Structure 1
Amino acid sequence: MDKVKILERYMPVEAAPLIGRWIDYFKCEFKISRNRNSKFGDYRPPYDGKGHRISVNFDLNPYAFLVTTVHEFAHLHTWNEHKQKAKPHGTEWKLNFKKMMQPFFDKEVFPPDIKQAITSYLNNPAASSCSDLNLYRSLRKYDVKDESIHVVEKVPMKALFKLKDGRVFRKEEKLRKRYKCVEVSTKRVYLFSPVAEVELVED
């Protein structure tokens, strides 16, 4: 099947032809991956006879899929220009991300709130990567809602929640940007991102 037709299943239709051209131009292996809780996407530079490789999680909403795809292609482009000399989310990468995002802004692919969040992210040198919470929250609004899933910042204080692996935690206080949570079985303390996805447990 034509790669553009496949891409149209996962991202806004009007964005698919350009991403298809990028795959060809950069001679990139582009993989639609299973869900990975730790990341939305991944870029790997040429190594051991293999070319550029990008993977993006299959279960992202179309806007999150496109933002992640552009994010990873910006890593590829930055590697081509600077090899290992550029920081992963440094100035060179941000310039390329901004430049590569522009065609999708011109086509008005994104809703205004996501466009604003991307622009704000790119103008904020303190944001180290696309774990930028403002951008993440904007993208999440377009997810298909699962009523059983909550983010840690919405879980009541002292309430119990569990992860996909079954471990149960009690939410304690907020420490700067993260939440202190105690694993019930071991009493060990962990710090959770406010947007980590969890399931509530009856006390």
Structure 2
Amino acid sequence: MDKVTVLAQYLPPDAAPLIGRWIDHFKCEFKISRNRGTKFGDYRAPYDGKGHRISVNFDLNPYAFLVTTVHEFAHLHTWNEHKQKARPHGIEWKRNFKKMMQPFFDKEVFPPDVRQAISNYLDNPAASSCSDLTLYRSLRKYDAPKESVHTVEKLPLNALFKLKDGRVFRKQEKLRKRYKCIEISTRRIYLFSPVAEVEIIGER
């Protein structure tokens, strides 16, 4: 099976041919990865005889997969131009991300709400695409439904929830941008992102 056919299983079909050409043009090892709870994708610069390497989580919806892929290719392109001299999400990367996203805007690959969120994000150099909550929320709307998974911001006050590692927390009030939550077993306080995905559980 050729790479474009494989990519079309994860990306909007109209986007797959261009991503396939980028993989060849940049001589990049492109890996569809397992889910990593802390990141959607990853870029590794050439090192110790290995070339450019990009990985993207397999379970992202097509629009999130494409945004993440372009995000990582913008890192690659910025490295080729500036090596270690450019900041990871600095003005050079931002300029390349915007330029590399344009062909997909021209093809009208994204729904209007996602396109608008990307455009707004590109005008905000302080945030990475993974931490921009407006972009993250617009992309999540296109996820397949997950019956037991909720985001912290959607839980009622004092709700109990657990993480994948089994730890149980009780949601408390919002402090600026994050929610104060108390771990039940230790009584320690943690701050959670509003869009952190958790499993709600009953009272205990």
- For these two proteins, the number of residue pairs brought into alignment is 203
Equivalent runs, 1:45-194 vs 2, <5 Å: 45-194=45-194
Q: Percent identity?
A: 82
Contact kept? 2:78, 2:86, Cα under 8 Å:
yes
Aligned to 1:24: 24
Aligned to 1:13: 13
User: For the residues of structure 2 that align with 1:115 and 1:74, how far apart are their CA atoms?
Assistant: 17
Contact kept? 1:168, 1:185, Cα under 8 Å:
yes
Contact kept? 1:152, 1:197, Cα under 8 Å:
yes
Q: Return the offset for 1:188.
A: 1.0
Q: Return the offset for 1:90.
A: 0.8
User: For the residues of structure 2 that align with 1:143 and 1:97, how far apart are their CA atoms?
Assistant: 23
Q: Which amino acid aligns with 2:80?
A: N
User: For the residues of structure 1 that align with 2:172 and 2:163, how far apart are their CA atoms?
Assistant: 16
Contact kept? 2:40, 2:130, Cα under 8 Å:
no
Contact kept? 2:161, 2:200, Cα under 8 Å:
yes
Q: Return the offset for 1:129.
A: 4.1
Q: TM-score, normalised by structure 2?
A: 0.98
Unaligned segments of structure 1, at least 5 residues:
none
Q: Return the offset for 1:85.
A: 1.0
Runs of 4+ in 1 over 6 A off after TM superposition: none
